[in-house]
């Protein structure tokens, strides 16, 4: 985007920064002026009304562009997405090609994030080697009261007081000027103000969130019109960032709570090897898994999901999981009795919730697994000779009927086979109808490489990559991660029989 008169243009022009030339009949006639014309047309002064009209048209164009940029920012639902949009929009407004944004809330609670526009990872590393106090955005971040003003450095290499390291980095990266603005909210209004119509003599202190800087390839600085527009944009962007920041912190707290309520490690039981993967959605759900060593070398296996999301669902999940462990110790050899007790507890203590659950009583020495499910997806057996779903009876979720009961099913995995227990979130996250989601899961399990079949963790990871290819993964008993747009938790518990 090119700057207006008085600034050195950057790489490419943008329409909103170019002057709007008036189009008036007779300004450029096809025929030459007669000889007796008193003055050439170029010397004629446009009427005052025409100048005002042109100015108003330019102002409307600027506000329209600003409105479109703000709408795009409002459509972002993640902190990183909003920061990237701020970089792109601000670069268009000030006429720069590259930029850097630092999210660093003044309260010290994080998260701290640095993102670049038009800058490679190595170039960001070079910028971070410059002493913070020498950078324009660093001065904004270190401002104690949050009332910092934008910082323009129109000629970096021409500044005799420039830090030597900053000069070296600027020459290496090829930028000659910068313009930085703070990202800060208006703060919390003074609650002691007696009347909302009375102006507060002590306005609330701004709450610093971070700072953003744009780099020009040549010496330049934005003109007053551009400064005004980017200032308005930054004001709205800061409020939007503050909301996303609180949402991000809430997600992190919920994810931490979920991780603490799930098993810290899986038990070591002769004859079986266990691995679990857990991915949370953006709001935190109530999916869980468990594995419990029982008397006589048996093991109790459970997966389940509580309806709803957020801290309430996570807390309900913790209560149900703890209760299921107790029932498993008392009568784990009868999965139907375990789920019946859990259903009664749910109706008495969580009458507004429902839950799906699957409990299995496995005896590795006998190669036997007895299981029962309540509205839950069937397990999947994965082996060299077969990949098939376990045929379970159709049953309602817990809390849906006055009394729950369904027959149990016994299966006999062969040595070397892996039984996959999972929650419905794995299927729903595909975004496909259930029949196609089941088909995708079956194909993913059937395609596990031979070299990975001996490791239940590798089997679980392969299935997750194949079923949800767009999501990042983390290894471990309780890997908490997922896409921002995915609403469901995902649990996969892999049990390999030796």
Digit-coded pLDDT (tens) for 297-331: 999 999 999 988 878 888 888 899 999 999 999 98
- Which residue(s) pair with 410 in the sheet? 370
Specify if 18 maps to a domain.
Answer: no
pLDDT at 214 over 70: yes
Do 295 and 408 share a domain, yes or no? yes
For residue 340, give its domain range: 262-497
Q: What is the pLDDT of residues 250-270, one digit of tens each?
A: 888 877 877 888 888 899 999
- Which residue(s) pair with 293 in the sheet? 299
- Which residue(s) pair with 298 in the sheet? none
In 3-state terms, what secondary structure has residue 115? Answer: strand
Lowest mean pLDDT among 6-15, 144-153, 220-229, 424-433: 6-15
pLDDT at 242 over 90: yes
In the structure encoding, which two tokens stand for residue 342, read together? 């859990």
Give CA–CA dist 118/87, Å, rounded: 10
Do 488 and 394 share a domain, yes or no? yes
Do 210 and 336 share a domain, yes or no? no
The per-residue pLDDT for 174 is 93
CATH code, domain with 424: 3.60.40.10
The per-residue pLDDT for 53 is 73
Give CA–CA dist 290/303, Å, rounded: 6
CATH code, domain with 86: 3.30.450.40
Do 241 and 269 share a domain, yes or no? no
Give CA–CA dist 178/26, Å, rounded: 43
Do 179 and 83 share a domain, yes or no? yes
Q: Whole-model pTM? A: 0.65
DSSP secondary structure code for residue 484 in this structure: T
**Block residue for tokens 């509205």:** 375
**How many folded domains does the chain comprise?**
2
The per-residue pLDDT for 435 is 92
The per-residue pLDDT for 482 is 42
Closest CA to 96 of 106, 86, 83: 86
- Which residue(s) pair with 275 in the sheet? 494
Do 238 and 377 share a domain, yes or no? no
Give CA–CA dist 280/429, Å, rounded: 11
Give CA–CA dist 380/378, Å, rounded: 7
Q: What is the pLDDT of residues 345-362, one digit of tens each?
A: 998 888 888 999 999 999
Specify if 128 maps to a domain.
Answer: yes
In the structure encoding, which two tokens stand for residue 133, read together? 């106090």
**Block residue for tokens 């720069």:** 96
Closest CA to 306 of 356, 367, 270, 372: 356
User: Cα–chain-centroid distance for residue 1?
Assistant: 30
Specify if 39 maps to a domain.
Answer: no
Under 8 Å CB-to-CB from 404, ≥6 apart: which residues?
Answer: 339, 340, 343, 374, 395, 396, 398
Closest CA to 379 of 346, 417, 415: 417
Do 172 and 277 share a domain, yes or no? no
Do 224 and 338 share a domain, yes or no? no
Specify if 35 maps to a domain.
Answer: no
Specify if 105 maps to a domain.
Answer: yes
Do 156 and 271 share a domain, yes or no? no
Interval 439-445 mean pLDDT: 95
């Amino acid at each position: 985007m090119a700057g207006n008169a008085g600034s050195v243009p950057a790489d490419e022009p943008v329409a909103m920064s170019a002057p709007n030339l008036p189009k008036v009949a007779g300004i450029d006639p096809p025929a030459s002026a007669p000889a007796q014309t008193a003055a050439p047309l170029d010397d004629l002064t446009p009427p005052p009304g025409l100048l005002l009209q042109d100015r108003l048209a330019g102002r409307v164009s600027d506000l329209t562009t600003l409105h479109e940029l703000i709408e795009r920012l409002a459509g972002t639902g993640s902190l990183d997405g909003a920061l990237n949009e701020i970089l792109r929009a601000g670069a268009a407004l000030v006429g720069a090609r590259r930029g850097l944004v630092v999210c660093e809330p003044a309260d010290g609670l994080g998260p701290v994030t640095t993102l670049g526009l038009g800058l490679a990872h190595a170039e960001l590393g070079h910028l971070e080697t410059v002493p913070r106090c020498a950078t324009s955005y660093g001065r904004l971040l270190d401002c104690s009261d949050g009332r910092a003003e934008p910082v323009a450095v129109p000629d970096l290499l021409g500044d005799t007081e420039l830090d030597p390291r900053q000069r070296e980095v600027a020459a290496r990266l090829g930028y000659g000027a910068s313009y930085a603005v703070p990202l800060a909210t208006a703060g919390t209004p003074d609650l002691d103000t007696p009347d909302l119509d009375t102006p507060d003599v002590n306005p609330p202190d701004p709450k610093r969130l971070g700072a953003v800087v744009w780099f020009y390839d040549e010496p330049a600085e934005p003109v007053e019109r551009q400064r005004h527009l980017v200032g308005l944009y930054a004001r709205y962007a800061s409020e939007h960032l503050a909301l996303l920041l609180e949402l991000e912190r809430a997600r992190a707290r919920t994810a931490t709570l979920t991780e603490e309520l799930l098993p810290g490690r899986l038990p070591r039981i002769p004859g079986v090897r266990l691995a679990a993967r857990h991915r949370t959605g953006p709001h935190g759900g109530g999916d869980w898994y468990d594995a419990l060593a029982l008397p006589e070398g048996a093991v109790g296996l459970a997966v389940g999901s509580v309806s709803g999301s957020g801290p309430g669902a996570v807390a309900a999940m913790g209560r149900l999981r703890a209760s299921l462990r107790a029932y498993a110790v008392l009568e784990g050899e009868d999965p139907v009795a375990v789920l019946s007790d859990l259903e009664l507890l749910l109706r008495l203590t969580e009458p507004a919730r429902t839950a799906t659950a699957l409990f299995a009583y496995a005896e590795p020495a006998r190669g036997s697994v007895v299981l029962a499910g309540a509205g839950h997806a069937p397990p999947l057996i994965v082996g060299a000779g077969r990949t098939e779903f376990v045929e379970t009876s159709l049953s309602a979720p817990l809390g849906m009927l006055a009394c729950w009961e369904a027959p149990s099913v016994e299966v006999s995995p062969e040595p070397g086979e892996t039984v996959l227990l999972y929650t419905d979130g794995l299927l729903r996250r595909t975004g496909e109808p259930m029949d196609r989601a089941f088909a995708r899961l079956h194909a993913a399990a059937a395609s596990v490489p031979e070299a990975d079949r001996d490791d239940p963790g590798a089997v679980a990871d392969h299935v997750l990559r194949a079923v949800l290819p767009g999501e990042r993964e983390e290894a471990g008993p309780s890997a908490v991660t997922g896409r921002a747009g995915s609403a469901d938790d995902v649990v996969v518990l892999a049990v390999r029989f030796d």
